[in-house]
Amino acid sequence: MPEPATRQVMAFDFGTRRIGVAFGQQLLGTARPLTMLPARDGKPEWERIEALIKEWQPNLLVVGLPLNMDGTENDMCARARKFGKRLHGRFHLPVDMVDERLTSFEAKGEVMASRGHQDFGRNGIDDLAAVLILETWFNQQATG
């Protein structure tokens, strides 16, 4: 595996209807949104994820863990963990889980500030939430 500072990382904001995807490099500590993938009851189109992984060639995958505000786990946490295990099983890449408690809320605020309310329905926020998940992971690596 490459040195930690040179790792290329793909992050996922798991949801039952959409999965946001972002990509970044640990050396720079920055991330950018890639896409939002449709999901049916949390099941993604694995071929599309495979195509993204082939194109971007990450060394590590990060999945957001939607903990409750008090830090306890809920049903969505179990589903996100299962998604992470399936990513690892299918693509043989290491997968880290990261606390994403406020990322969707923060992403909504960013969309509203930059584009206004009208873009929510069409564009969603899942890819921006994936960016925030990845930036959280980068910050944890830098301070941990």
Task: Check residue 121 and give its pLDDT.
Answer: 46
Lowest mean pLDDT among 1-5, 19-23, 108-112, 139-143: 108-112
Q: How far apart are CA 18 and CA 39, in angstroms?
A: 5
pLDDT tens readout for residues 53-111? 999 999 999 999 999 888 899 999 999 999 999 999 999 999 999 998 765 555 455 54
> pTM for the full model?
0.84
> Domain range spanning residue 62?
4-143
Please state the domain count of the chain: 1
Contacts of 133 (CB under 8 A, 6+ apart): 11, 12, 13, 22, 62, 63, 64, 98, 100, 103
Contacts of 53 (CB under 8 A, 6+ apart): 10, 91, 93
Q: What is the mean pLDDT of the chain?
A: 85
Q: How far apart are CA 9 and CA 62, in angstroms?
A: 7
Q: DSSP for 100-115?
A: -TTHHHHHHHHHHHHH
In the block, residue with structure tokens 């194109």: 55
CATH at 126: 3.30.420.140
